[in-house]
């Protein structure tokens, strides 16, 4: 029985890895084509290719649930087309045993995916964003297309590029009073983090007085702000690309600043529940093989997997923003689609058994 479990598990696992390779390859190709529109100056084709390469771990992590769904349909579907599943059932192998044989390699895959999303993907994404922003003009005043904005109190900050290790390029700060009148604006070409504060370099400050403006140049200036290099590494990336620990830390930072953190809660619950989402999609794929897709061709199974995967993704993408607009829990927005898939899969398996 152990050999049979390994045979089923390996068949499904190889199919999932093949599908994952195809999906990630297409994603990277489209991403590289999209980056060609930003190629100029120091950001050449080689820099764009390096940026896309650094996004590979994040692409793998994001595409894992859909690859698991389609790969499971193909792997089990191949066994069904060759009547191997029929022979197994006739030999007394229970449906639950087959489900567990499929789930065992999936548990390993989900564990590796979780480690990838928590450690390697955020690090690589941070390097990619820093590399691109710096190549696109990190040392100039707000010339980097992919820079970031941040607000702390009455100060609004724009940073062109954030380098790992506590180095900033192109820091522009705007200070306002309580009536939203601008008091000053300043630009620093670089900033280094030192013992709890930022040391700005080559600073040009414009002060807006009642009837005139005053420009002051300084070789350096101390900037006391709660933004640490760890927090800035969080701010510079999309919430979906952050680790769970980074999201948790930044969620509470935004709460302390009185800013909206709903989008980051949504990304946090998406990462926490991704194993459950993947398991639900695999369970639904198994139920399709023993139910509606028992006797169809491989092409029909592939089409069904792609269709179901896209419908699931669209449903998730609609519920996420809806939770921010209508105020219901982001946890519900993530868990509801997975729960519906799991219930559908269990219902079809019960009927097949």
Nearest residue to 334 (alpha-carbon basis) of 311, 309, 315: 315
Q: What percentage of residues in the chain have a pLDDT greater than 90?
A: 21
The whole-number pLDDT of residue 328 equals 84
Minimum mean pLDDT range among 143-147, 164-168, 187-191, 223-227 = 143-147
Answer whether 147's CB lies under 8 Å from 315's CB.
Answer: no
Mark residue 195 as left, alpha or beta (left: phi above 0; alpha: psi -120 to 50; beta: remaining).
left
Q: Is the pLDDT of residue 24 over 90?
A: yes
For the residues 60-70, what does the mean pLDDT come to?
A: 92
For the residues 22-45, what does the mean pLDDT come to?
A: 89
The whole-number pLDDT of residue 353 equals 62
- Write down the H helix ranges in 136-273: 229-235, 244-256, 262-272
Q: What is the pTM of this model?
A: 0.81
Minimum mean pLDDT range among 163-167, 212-216, 263-267 = 163-167
């Amino acid at each position: 029985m152990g050999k049979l479990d390994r045979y089923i598990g390996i068949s499904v696992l190889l199919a999932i890895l093949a599908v994952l390779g195809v999906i990630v390859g297409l994603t990277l190709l489209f991403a590289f084509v999209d980056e060609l529109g930003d190629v100029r100056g120091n950001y050449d084709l080689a820099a764009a290719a390096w940026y896309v390469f650094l996004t590979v771990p994040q692409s793998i992590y994001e595409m894992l649930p859909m690859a698991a769904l389609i790969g499971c349909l193909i792997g089990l579907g191949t066994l069904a087309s060759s009547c191997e599943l029929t022979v197994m059932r006739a030999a007394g192998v229970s449906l639950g045993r087959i489900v567990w044989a499929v789930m065992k390699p999936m548990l390993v895959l989900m564990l590796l995916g979780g480690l990838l999303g928590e450690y390697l993907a955020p690090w690589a994404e941070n390097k990619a964003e820093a590399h691109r922003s710096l190549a696109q003009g990190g040392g100039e005043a707000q010339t980097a297309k992919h820079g970031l904005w941040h607000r702390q109190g009455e100060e609004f900050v724009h940073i062109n590029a954030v380098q790992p290790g506590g180095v900033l390029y192109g820091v522009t700060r705007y200070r306002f009073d309580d009536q939203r009148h601008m008091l000053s604006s300043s630009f620093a070409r670089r900033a280094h983090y030192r013992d709890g504060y930022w040391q700005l370099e080559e600073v040009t400050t414009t002060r807006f007085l009642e009837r005139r403006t005053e420009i002051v140049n300084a070789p350096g200036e101390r900037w006391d702000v709660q933004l640490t290099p760890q927090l800035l590494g969080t701010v510079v990336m999309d919430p979906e690309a952050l680790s769970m620990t980074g999201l948790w830390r930044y969620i509470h930072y935004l709460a302390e600043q009185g800013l909206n953190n709903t989008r980051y809660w949504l990304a946090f619950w998406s990462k926490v529940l991704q194993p459950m989402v993947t398991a639900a999609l695999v369970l639904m794929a198994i139920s399709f093989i023993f139910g509606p897709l028992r006797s169809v061709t491989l092409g029909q199974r592939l089409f069904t997997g792609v269709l179901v995967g896209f419908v699931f993704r669209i449903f998730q993408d609609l519920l996420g923003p809806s939770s921010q607009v209508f105020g219901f829990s982001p946890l519900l927005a993530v868990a509801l689609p997975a729960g519906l898939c799991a219930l559908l899969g269990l219902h079809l398996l019960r009927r097949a058994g």
